[in-house]
Structure 1
Amino acid sequence: MSTNTIPLEEIRAQAADLPVDLYEGDATAYARFDQAFSLESVAIALGESDCLYDEATFPGVVYQPDNLPTTVVVSGDGTVLSIDATEEAHARSAVSNVIDTLDDLGLIVDARTPEISTNVRTVPFSLTPPSVETLGYDDDS
């Protein structure tokens, strides 16, 4: 997994270019897994009608939960990130809810549950999707 960190503002700026209305909040939270995520599977798990995923446009799934005023971004390299919550509790809850959903559907294989960090300015996030072999697929099948 990549351990590159980038400024949160860079992720927000890229997300702002997408056809999604971001919230005005600046509370953030993230959890970092030691595994890659299949972003197609993440979008299906979170509900395709509530997600935006276009790998050619943005390197993650953008999700806006119905019950919390925040936008969550899930990267292919294992980061679940709330980027614009109006309150820290909303950011933390949104990340926790996404983790629970992905775990319930078997998309989390990491044995440890990562700590949720809040109100950060830089985050571990890859601006390029992980390679196919990182996801555990075999090109020869």
Structure 2
Amino acid sequence: MNLFGGTISSLEKGLSYATLNHKTIANNIANVDTPNYKAKSVSFKDTLANEQRQLFSAYRTDNRHFDFTIQQFTPGVHSVNGLRYRNSGNAVDMDAEQTKLAQNQIYYNALVDRVSGKLNTLNTVIKGGR
């Protein structure tokens, strides 16, 4: 029985993406003065394309069995190309990274708020509306 129609699992995947994005941005900021460091990024478009390639169906032993697909979530981190480099070869723009970090934090907090709301709804149902 799926109480929320897959909403919680979708929110969980969004949180996983936001967490990986946060780690990647924090790594870029930490390496702002590292010579020859190339900035990394997590692309939602690439992650979505990767998700669509990784769908596979279950083996059915009887025609009365329901057909379902299993989805694997493995977002990827890649180097950002086409950036201007400093003399040290570093390609991290601190202002851009801090902007991305703030945007990602807002996205993450919105997802956490939605998960919390869904779980509070479930808690209310379990308690009988009290």
TM-score higher than 0.5 here?
Answer: no
Query: Given the two structures, how large is their TM-score scaled by the length of structure 1?
Result: 0.20
Decide which structure has the larger Cα Rg and report it: 2
The structure whose residues are more often strand, as a share, is 1
